[in-house]
Amino acid sequence: MTQAIPSTPRRRLLAAGATALALGPFTSPRAQAYPTRPIKLIVPYPPGGTTDLVARAFAEPLARELGQQIVVDNRPGAATHIGTDAAMRSAPDGYTLLLSTSGLATNFATGPVPPFDPQKTLAPITLINQMAFVVCANPSAPFSNVRELLAAARARPGRITIGSASLEYVARLLNAQSGVDILHVPYKGGAAAMNDAMSGQIDLAVALVPVMLPQIRSGRLKPIGVSTDRRAGALPQVPTFIESGESSFRVDSWYGLHGPAGLPRPLVRQLSEAARKVLTQPEFVERQRAIGSDLLWSTPEELAMRLKNDTEEALRIARELKLSPGS
């Protein structure tokens, strides 16, 4: 499913011509001309979810900055592998980009393991944002903060339940880094887990902040703690697990922008700089923070290092927790 993000017309041809005259014949005409046609942004998830919303919110101002349309192309399936494979096999000309996720790292630990190495087959451009996971409980639950939850879990090992959609990795990390035994209950979708937490069928639910935010704001779920080392911008009143002093629970999810390997450095720099301008616009920052997305621009080198470090960390944690791909 595709949707074109409209661009704002820009007077780039006169500016490009003036720049060419000023810089002389050694300036690359290819770098000056880009982009001259619409750019495809592959999103490896279906429409309507958190990843799709992140992609469309980012694509609109980026299209204005670049002066060209950005067409969002949803390619879901195989834990992001289908969309990622399509992006990495595209021509390295800047006209096909990938809305990448931290799944590029964690899939090696939790599966399905990709049949490619994203560190070799993709060209990093920039981080876009990071999001915390938030653990929530039914409003009538007998605990309202991290310390109370951990005390209850230690008093009743294996009796307190936490539901999620495909987040056993996160739930087991919570247990390991908090010294507790909370029983994970898998769900096919996050909405079902939240509904059961709201009705009291399970004690807790865990999901990304944007997923939980409407239920938190309506009072149907109470937030216990967030999973990052800093409080989430949308939930400044909710402490981190680390703040309790009784847990080292820390995990986040990030989104980034990649192209296929071989993307010319001038295009990488141009896209990275355009993204920086978008991701540092105060109004855009505040709008995204309000929905649970903490924007985070990076250099291409920083994104490459983040992917490398996160992959190594995910594999280390998987070994410690005895996780197998598919958890």
pLDDT digits (tens, 9 = 90+) for 146-196: 999 999 999 999 999 999 998 988 999 999 999 999 999 999 888 899 999
Report the C-alpha gap between 128 and 51 in whole angstroms: 11
One-letter amino acid for residue 138 of the chain: N
- The DSSP symbol for 181 reads -
Q: Given pLDDT bands bounded at 50, 70 and 90, which one contains residue 289?
A: very high
Report the C-alpha gap between 34 and 65 in whole angstroms: 12
- Helix, strand or coil, per DSSP, at residue 225: strand
**Structural domains present in the chain:** 2-131+253-321 (3.40.190.150), 132-244 (3.40.190.10)
Q: Where are the beta strands (DSSP E) in the chain?
A: 2-5, 39-43, 70-74, 96-101, 122-137, 161-165, 183-187, 204-208, 222-226, 252-260, 294-295
pLDDT in tens, 194-216: 999 999 999 999 999 999 999 99
Global pTM value: 0.85
pLDDT in tens, 77-125: 998 999 999 999 999 999 999 999 999 999 988 888 899 999 999 999 9
Q: Which has the closest alpha carbon to 125: 280, 304, 289, 254? A: 304
Residue 269: which region, alpha, beta or left (left: phi > 0; alpha: psi -120 to 50)? alpha
- C-alpha distances in angstroms, 262 versus 82, 85, 157, 184, 265? 20, 15, 51, 42, 8
Query: What pLDDT was estimated at residue 36?
Result: 97
* CA angle 165–295–280, rounded 5-degree value: 165
Query: What pLDDT was estimated at residue 16?
Result: 38
pLDDT in tens, 250-279: 999 999 999 999 999 999 999 999 999 999
